[in-house]
């Protein structure tokens, strides 16, 4: 199949039929806007399986996603979307850049989840945007911004309960949305330890990409633990 796009963590190929593409998950890992790179054995297999499981589960809860089928242990067939140029981040606890920007202690619970929008632009480092910036750049109308926020909060409520049942805390996570050829808004990209901060409920051990970002070691084991709990 013809390669149509290669990103930091995935390759996208033309699908077997129009309106369908094939995503292949790589073992490559990057952090800090590509400044740090490594290969994490088995990461692609974990992310493909976890994403498929979560997309299927969210679909059962009434969330529209691009997931269609699992091809093999690294490849998923998904609906082709025209992606909105925004990353939607939902935060349930203080961590990462929110800690750096506010000075609040990492792990501080957030009573009302915080929703943030980031501009999908590698050259600019995916900067944080407010509603006025989004309007200035023409990325989304105010109505669409409100819709994205509402949908992200609904997905957050669902996923928080899903992970809680598996003794995991969903600290924060990133979502991406796009339009299918029929003009329907759908959840795209992936949901995995690459895009979610997940902590063990009892120990607060980090079981996500932060282990790579912070040189904590045990990255492969953490991803396999998420795989074990999600797929159980």
Same domain, 104 and 188: yes
* pLDDT, tens digit, 9 for 90 and up, residues 38-64: 999 999 999 999 999 999 999 999 999
pLDDT of residue 97: 97
Q: What is the count of structural domains for the chain?
A: 2
Inside any domain, residue 227 = no
pLDDT of residue 142: 97
We report the CATH number of the domain holding residue 200 as 3.30.470.20
DSSP string computed for 92-152: EE--HHHHHHH-PPTT-EEEEEEEEEEE--GGGT--EE-HHHHHHHTS--HHHHHHHHHHH
Instruction: Quote the percentage of the chain above a pLDDT of 90.
Output: 93
Same domain, 97 and 186: yes
Q: Is the pLDDT of residue 34 over 70?
A: no
Same domain, 38 and 58: yes
Same domain, 109 and 16: no
Same domain, 28 and 105: no
Same domain, 75 and 88: no
Q: Is the pLDDT of residue 172 over 70?
A: yes
Q: Degrees (nearest 5) of the Cα angle 218, 35, 25?
A: 60
Same domain, 97 and 36: no
β-strands 20-25, 75-79 pairing = antiparallel
Inside any domain, residue 27 = yes
Average pLDDT, the chain: 96
Cβ contact 75:143 at 8 Å: no
pLDDT of residue 198: 98
pLDDT of residue 177: 98
Q: Is the pLDDT of residue 32 over 90?
A: no
Q: What's the pTM?
A: 0.96
Inside any domain, residue 228 = no
Q: Is the pLDDT of residue 1 over 90?
A: no
Cβ contact 41:23 at 8 Å: no
* pLDDT, tens digit, 9 for 90 and up, residues 79-105: 999 999 999 999 999 999 999 999 999
Domain boundary among 34, 57, 79: 79
We report the CATH number of the domain holding residue 33 as 3.30.200.20
* pLDDT, tens digit, 9 for 90 and up, residues 182-191: 999 999 999 9
Give the range of the structural domain holding residue 192, as residue numbers without chain letter.
82-217
Q: Is the pLDDT of residue 134 over 80?
A: yes
Same domain, 161 and 94: yes
């Amino acid at each position: 199949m013809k390669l149509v796009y290669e990103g930091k963590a995935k390759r996208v190929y033309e699908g077997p039929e129009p309106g369908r593409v094939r995503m292949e998950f790589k073992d490559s890992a990057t952090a800090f806007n590509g400044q740090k790179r490594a290969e994490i054995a088995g990461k692609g297999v974990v992310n493909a399986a976890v994403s498929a499981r979560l997309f299927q589960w969210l679909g059962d809860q009434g969330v529209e996603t691009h997931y269609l089928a699992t091809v093999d242990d690294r490849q998923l067939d998904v609906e082709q979307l025209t992606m909105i140029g925004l990353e939607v981040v939902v935060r349930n606890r203080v961590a990462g850049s929110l800690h750096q920007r506010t000075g609040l202690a990492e792990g501080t619970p957030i009573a009302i989840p915080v929703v943030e929008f980031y501009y999908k632009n590698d050259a600019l480092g995916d900067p944080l945007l407010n509603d006025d910036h989004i309007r200035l750049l023409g990325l989304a109308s105010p109505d669409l911004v409100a819709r994205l926020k509402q949908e992200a909060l609904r997905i957050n409520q669902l996923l928080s309960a899903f992970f809680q049942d598996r003794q995991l805390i969903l600290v924060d996570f990133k979502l991406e949305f796009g339009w299918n050829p029929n003009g329907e808004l759908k959840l795209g990209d992936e949901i995995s330890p690459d895009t979610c901060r997940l902590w063990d409920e009892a120990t607060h051990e980090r079981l996500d990409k932060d282990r790579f970002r912070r040189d904590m070691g045990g990255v492969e084991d953490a991803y396999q633990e998420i795989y074990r709990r999600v797929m159980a």
